[in-house]
Amino acid sequence: MPNTALVRRGLDGELDRRLPKGLVGRVWREFARPYRRKLVALIATIVIASALVVAPPYFIGRIVDALSQVRDGVVPAGVGRTVTLSAVGLIVLALVTVLFSIAQRYYSAWLGEQLIADMRQRAFRHVQRMPVAFFTRTQTGALISRLNNDVVGAQRALTGTFGTLTANTVQVAVALAYMFALEWRLTLLVLSVLPVFVMAAKYAGRRLQALTRESMQLNADMNTLMTERFNVAGATLVKLFGRYDREGERFGDSAVRVADVGVRSAVVGRLFFATMSLVGALGTAAVYLVGGQFVLSGTMSTGDVVAFAALVITAYSPLAALSNAPVDVLTALISFDRVFEILDLPHPITDAPDAVDLEHPRGDLTFDRVRFAYPSAADSSLASLESGWSEALDTTPGPVVLDDVSFSAAGGQTVALVGPSGAGKTTMTALVPRLYDVSGGAVRVDGHDVRDLTVESLRAAVGVVSQDPHLFHDTVRANLRYAAPDASDAQLEAACRAAQIHEVISALPEGYDTVVGERGYRLSGGEKQRLSIARVLLKDPAIIVLDEATAHLDSESEAAVQAALRTALAGRTSLVIAHRLSTIVGADLILVVSHGRVVQQGTHAELVRAEGLYADLYHTQFAAAEA
Ligand SMILES: Nc1ncnc2c1ncn2[C@@H]1O[C@H](COP(=O)(O)OP(=O)(O)OP(=O)(O)O)[C@@H](O)[C@H]1O
Ligand SMILES: [Mg+2]
């Protein structure tokens, strides 16, 4: 559970964080400039609507002045006219204000939504291309929350903060100018209470800001917990260990803290509001008190005093908002910065500048003195995405998992990998489609270092069937078409027949249109693997990488998988992590992997004859499994 001290430290760290230079310029270039016409329209509507706030006090002042000329029931000429015109002015003004506010809302909504859509798309496209190492480290919940909340935060920044800032500045400027024009001494008096105001606003702003951040962080924690516990694997684990209560407490803890933060921010907000009204009342009272004297001494008209009192309120509230502007702007920019942080994550595994396409692959596969260590946390992820609080990530690379691994297979050959658990077999297979890049040496396909090929053409040439294949939550047909979008139904069926899975699919309630649930849970492990073999057959790659499903299959599906494999591997180079003796014996080359090294290689016949790990494995495991 994230402990509070750490979360707090993380939050402060976030607030203190120095924003990169040129951030504003970047926001402008990447997200605002394309829409500058609408942005200008927005600013224009904001400026006009804000400037209009001084008009009602003006008309009210005129009405009061006209009426105060009425003495003992005698109405001087023109009073009725002034009152009527001013009243009409007020109505017209209200209408115009409404029109402008609607226009303003339209432009700000349009820009805001457009910005959200832009940012989301860019972030999604970018994150997709991150290497596997990133996804193994990053907490999905934290990532999703970043893509949802910070994107919305950035949008609020652009339309909200920016809009309010402009509106308030214009409003204050116009109101103060009018006030000075009416009576400068009174204006200075009104401004003298300003420090109280600014302080209250600053305090409240800071508190609210910290509270908002805390609640965002807590929400992100809850998200992470839910996404992790509510996927099938997580939920099953919780059940099997009977941890409902503990998980409930953990979640409840965050939920209660969110509630607590909600109450605190409500109170702080109200306190601030109350202070504002108090100071406002104070200012108004002072205006009437001192302004009254001015009227008596004949230096000011009654109408002007009334107008002035009304202006006090229109000047105070934007001033309060503006005193918080630095914090608001900073918060807004932090959201942008957090989104940019994602957009700027490097893509280490991309095409080299002079990458070439792998054309008509033969499938020759060579490992040349390959060394490999899993990348360090700092190299593969972002601190703020990992754990919910900012701590520096470990920069030490993982231990060397593969060392000096060399072998060569000609197109069409089958290479079997055997060896104890944790030896590095899966890791070796991950290097072929460049899920990771080697730390030393090279993996070559048809003589090209895989890093010199375009990733797209390389991955098109390599098909992977993993031990626990993933199926999207979609129909069988859609899952198959993922490999070949243009395949006809007949082609899908042929692939499934070859993979020995057609009968199983046909027996499903809706055949090929059956939705295989999240993680394809309705199919057994063996069935899923055969479906994934069918998927690879549709892709028709020159090289196949296959993590053979381990034992625990009944003999019927064992036979089915074997038949499926024979078809799948025929005519293709294959790198198979083999558990079945039949696969191993039939391989052109067997690599015995132990502690990250290839300790023996050769054919079955050669290796059984030699003393060594293979002979041991053969006699203990494979022979026994066969019997
Ligand atoms: N994503 C990863 N990050 C860091 N280390 C990893 C990662 N995946 C595997 N390792 C480590 O690399 C070593 C080799 O793992 P690998 O999965 O290649 O073994 P394996 O031979 O496939 O084992 P098994 O037969 O059990 O599947 C192990 O020590 C493992 O802890
Ligand atoms: Mg493995």
Q: Where are the domains of the chain?
A: 23-142+149-343, 410-437+452-626
pLDDT above 70 covers a percentage of the chain that reads 92
pLDDT value for 200? 81
By the 10 Å C-beta count (0-12 exposed, 13-18 middle, 19+ buried), 329 is classed as middle
Q: Give the mean pLDDT of 285-302.
A: 92
The CA 422 to ligand 2 mean position distance, Å, reads 7
The CA 425 to ligand 2 mean position distance, Å, reads 6
Is 374 near ligand 1, meaning CB less than 6 Å away?
A: yes
Sheet with 543-547, side-by-side order of all strands:
462-465, 543-547, 573-577, 414-418, 589-594, 597-602
Is 591 near ligand 1, meaning CB less than 6 Å away?
A: no
The amino acid that residue 153 corresponds to is G
Is 396 near ligand 1, meaning CB less than 6 Å away?
A: no
What is the Cα Rg of the chain in Å?
A: 36
**pTM across the whole model:** 0.77
Q: Which of 135, 427, 591 to mutate to test the pocket of ligand 1 (most atoms within 8 A of CB)?
A: 427
The string of DSSP codes covering 43-55 is HHHHHHHHHGGGH
Q: Are 592 and 607 spatial neighbours (Cβ–Cβ below 8 Å)?
A: yes
Interval 43-99: pLDDT, tens: 999 999 888 888 899 999 999 999 988 888 888 888 889 999 999 999 999 999 999
**pLDDT higher at 427 or 215:** 427
Q: Taking Cα atoms as reference points, which of 474, 465, 478 lies closest to residue 519?
A: 474
Mean pLDDT value across the chain: 85
pLDDT value for 555? 56
Q: Whose CA is nearest to atom 29 of ligand 1?
A: 422
pLDDT value for 440? 94
**What dihedral angle (degrees, nearest 10) is formed by the CA atoms of 55, 59, 65, 69?**
160
Q: Are 531 and 498 spatial neighbours (Cβ–Cβ below 8 Å)?
A: no
The CA 418 to ligand 2 mean position distance, Å, reads 10
Q: Are 483 and 539 spatial neighbours (Cβ–Cβ below 8 Å)?
A: yes
Q: Whose CA is nearest to atom 28 of ligand 1?
A: 422
For 23-142+149-343, CATH number out of 1.10.150.120, 3.30.200.20, 1.20.1560.10, 3.40.50.150 equals 1.20.1560.10
**pLDDT higher at 543 or 227:** 543
Distances (CA, A) of 241 to 186, 216, 223, 231, 237: 73, 30, 22, 16, 6
By the 10 Å C-beta count (0-12 exposed, 13-18 middle, 19+ buried), 128 is classed as exposed
For residue 435, name the pLDDT band (cuts at 50, 70, 90): very high
* Second-level CATH architecture of 410-437+452-626: 3-Layer(aba) Sandwich (3.40)
Ligand nearest to the CA of 427: 1
441: three-class secondary structure by DSSP: strand
Q: Give the mean pLDDT of 154-177.
A: 86
What is the rounded distance in angstroms from the CA atom of residue 187 to the CA atom of residue 519?
A: 69
Q: Which of 374, 386, 431, 597 to mutate to test the pocket of ligand 1 (most atoms within 8 A of CB)?
A: 374
> 410-437+452-626: same fold as 23-142+149-343?
no
Helices (H), 21-78: 23-27, 36-51, 55-67
Q: Give the mean pLDDT of 464-480.
A: 88
Is 618 near ligand 1, meaning CB less than 6 Å away?
A: no
Indicate if the pLDDT at residue 378 is higher than 50.
yes
Is 420 near ligand 1, meaning CB less than 6 Å away?
A: no
